[in-house]
Amino acid sequence: MSDGPTPPVEQMATATLNDAVTVPVQKHAFSDRVPIRSILSRPDGGAGIAGQRVRVGGWVKTGREQGKGSFAFLELNDGTCQANLQVIVEASVADLGQLVATGTCVVVDGVLKLPPEGTRQKVELRVEQVVHVGLVDPAKYPLPKTRLTLEFLRDFVHLRPKTNTISAVARIRNALAYATHTFFQKHGFLYVHTPIITTSDCEGAGEMFQVTTLITDSEKREKELIKNPPPSEDDVEAAKILVKEKGEAVTQLKSVKASKEEISASVAELTKAKENLSRLEDRAKLKPGIPQKEGKIDYAQDFFARQAFLTVSGQLQVESFACCLSSVYTFGPTFRAEHSHTSRHLAEFWMVEPEIAFAELKDDMNCAEAYVKFLCQWLLDECLDDMEFMAKNFDKTCIDRLRMVASTPFERITYTEAVELLKKVTDKKFDNEVEWGIDLASEHERYLTEVLFKKPVIVYNYPKDIKAFYMRLNDDSKTVAAMDVLVPKVGELIGGSQREERYENISKRIVEMGLPLEPYEWYLDLRRYGTVKHSGFGLGFERMILFATGMDNIRDVIPFPRYPGRADL
């Protein structure tokens, strides 16, 4: 029986070493456990805090009984870092058979000890009490401790974060998101939440997911009509006759100056007859299928009373804030209904889109270069253990690539110069022929960055016919002030431009591209009322993770990938 309450973890996690120095172990801010990272990420690997009592929780990576079942070794990981904490449990403390299965969740109290000399671990945990066990049936657990392919793991997106690879990618993704906000907040940008549902097509490609309730409303109507068929014309006509009769009865009673009670009762009958007629007429109008008007879908009957879509970009909306607040950025999900199964395409992906007022193309390029360098250096400073894991298992050059990009000035060439350089290439046969006016393919972009310049390249001043309507027309009337940041391994990482601030030019461009003016009237207002030069760009967040990690498929760097045929969870 206990002599008193269990001491708080803040006390449990502090001990005296060598009877002289007290070293605290940092516990989780909102839990009574100590994160494994705070133990193992110390410069001494945790050896300096041996002797302290801690509570840790995590999932068993591997477990094995030893000493003829007298104790068990558990490799425990809680997702806070790549490394596992070795945990030793005596058979007298718990049922070892419940603990050793891969995937089992345990929370344990114990004492950190120095392991025997010559072992890989710097510190291990000797368990005194097992607080919690989340059991796993090893015969049914879908993620055994054997090496699993990334393709296999896509069938278990809800469990794959338990693997070393996906947990490392998740921490790298988190670090890049944190770095993104840090960079823009540090440079005076305001974070703006742009809408996911929109009525305008930013890119003009038409590959958008439509948002509608017409289909579900139609299905509901059909079910209702099957259960309660609409009234016949005779039923409606009979109801009209009844209303007429009841109306005449009220008139008759009033003409003979009947009592107030008689007139009120007759008026109530008339009201009831009118309500019944109204219901019958409404039901008679119900028809199966989606509402039509003049042979076309009647979107006036839809939820937003017009066509609406999932956004492909928050750029147009965030421009409205840039034209009022100067420097802004949005960071959120975007959607594209492109039926592609390549390793570079997703139906749902994230974009970072800053917009800078009073800025021209050169300012835009400066910002993009500084941002990419900042992201690379952030990973080197804050996420090196996970990057070392990626270098060991996926891309030996990924850390060197980050260092190179973080420290090397980007090359800047015009589109025309890029085409001329690619035309002179003799050591490689491109699948896509190079000529002025084409949109550079990934093979062209990677050749520029990996072979010709061996560093990131910013290509600018693209032909207007291959770029969006909002990009500023250059004086040559053939090119626009657009720029792409190309990097090794991935190719295009960033696309941006100086926006067309001149009303006449942009309205003409919208019409030239076959887009209706009406949905863009609000966008044109930004040019009508206090127009300003402004520039911005978009960074594909998943592409940045691909570039950083060296992973080959974009489906493995987003927590819940959506692509044709798959929208799990």
Examine residue 500 and state whether it is found in any structural domain, yes or no: yes
Q: What pLDDT does 204 receive?
A: 55
Q: Are 174 and 312 in contact (CB under 8 A)?
A: no
Examine residue 562 and state whether it is found in any structural domain, yes or no: no
Between CA 528 and CA 472 the distance in angstroms is 16
Q: Are 57 and 132 in contact (CB under 8 A)?
A: yes
- How many residues does the structure list for the chain? 569
User: Could you say which of 257, 281, 301 is where a domain stops?
Assistant: 301
Domain shared by 177 and 114, yes or no:
no
Give me the residue label for tokens 């295009």: 492
Examine residue 566 and state whether it is found in any structural domain, yes or no: no
Which residue stretches of 256-305 are H helix? Answer: 260-285
Between CA 6 and CA 15 the distance in angstroms is 16
Residue 261 corresponds to which tokens in the numbers above? 């009670």
Domain shared by 127 and 256, yes or no:
no
111 DSSP β-pair partners? 53, 126
* pTM of this structure: 0.85
Examine residue 70 and state whether it is found in any structural domain, yes or no: yes
Domain shared by 374 and 432, yes or no:
yes
Domain shared by 314 and 376, yes or no:
yes
Q: What pLDDT does 2 receive?
A: 43
Domain shared by 470 and 543, yes or no:
yes
Q: What pLDDT does 373 receive?
A: 98
Domain shared by 344 and 433, yes or no:
yes
Q: Are 65 and 99 in contact (CB under 8 A)?
A: no
SS3 content of the chain, % helix, strand, coil (to 5): 40, 20, 40
Examine residue 552 and state whether it is found in any structural domain, yes or no: yes
Give me the residue label for tokens 């609406």: 308
- Provide the domain count of the chain: 3
The closest of 493, 535, 496, 537 to 376, measured between CA atoms, is 493
Residue 547 corresponds to which tokens in the numbers above? 């570039």
Domain shared by 358 and 401, yes or no:
yes
Q: Domain with 104 in it: what CATH number?
A: 2.40.50.140
The conformational region for residue 305 under phi > 0 = left, psi -120 to 50 = alpha, else beta, is left
Q: What pLDDT does 1 receive?
A: 41
Examine residue 153 and state whether it is found in any structural domain, yes or no: no
Examine residue 492 and state whether it is found in any structural domain, yes or no: yes
Q: Can you give the residue range of the structural domain that contains 124?
A: 9-134
Please report, to the nearest 10 degrees, the dihedral formed by the alpha carbons of residues 70, 72, 73, 74 taken in order: -170
Between CA 467 and CA 236 the distance in angstroms is 58
Give me the residue label for tokens 């997106």: 157
**What is the Cα Rg of the chain in Å?**
33
Spell 384-422 as b/e; 16+ CB within 10 A means b.
Answer: eebbebbbeebbeebbebbeebbeeebbbbebeebbebb
Examine residue 246 and state whether it is found in any structural domain, yes or no: yes
Domain shared by 264 and 325, yes or no:
no
pLDDT along the chain (569 residues), means of 10: 42 42 76 95 93 96 94 96 96 95 96 91 96 95 88 94 96 98 98 92 72 82 72 87 92 89 91 90 74 80 89 94 97 92 90 98 98 98 97 97 97 98 94 95 96 97 95 97 96 97 95 89 95 97 97 96 89
User: Could you say which of 301, 323, 352 is where a domain stops?
Assistant: 301
Say if strands 457-463 and 296-297 run parallel, antiparallel, or are unpaired. Answer: unpaired
Domain shared by 119 and 255, yes or no:
no
Between CA 503 and CA 529 the distance in angstroms is 10
CA distances from 461 to 91, 415, 477 (A): 71, 6, 11
Q: Are 457 and 484 in contact (CB under 8 A)?
A: no
Spell 448-486 as b/e; 16+ CB within 10 A means b.
Answer: bbbebbebbbbbbbbbbeebbbbbbbbeeeebbbbbbbb
**Burial grade of 377 (CB within 10 A; 0-12, 13-18, 19 or more):** middle
Q: Are 33 and 12 in contact (CB under 8 A)?
A: no
User: Is 463 in a helix, a strand, or coil?
Assistant: strand
Domain shared by 332 and 396, yes or no:
yes
Domain shared by 176 and 52, yes or no:
no
User: Could you say which of 301, 317, 342 is where a domain stops?
Assistant: 301
Say if strands 411-414 and 308-310 run parallel, antiparallel, or are unpaired. Answer: unpaired
Give me the residue label for tokens 């008026």: 267
Domain shared by 170 and 85, yes or no:
no
Q: Are 72 and 88 in contact (CB under 8 A)?
A: yes
Between CA 384 and CA 365 the distance in angstroms is 28
Q: What pLDDT does 244 receive?
A: 93
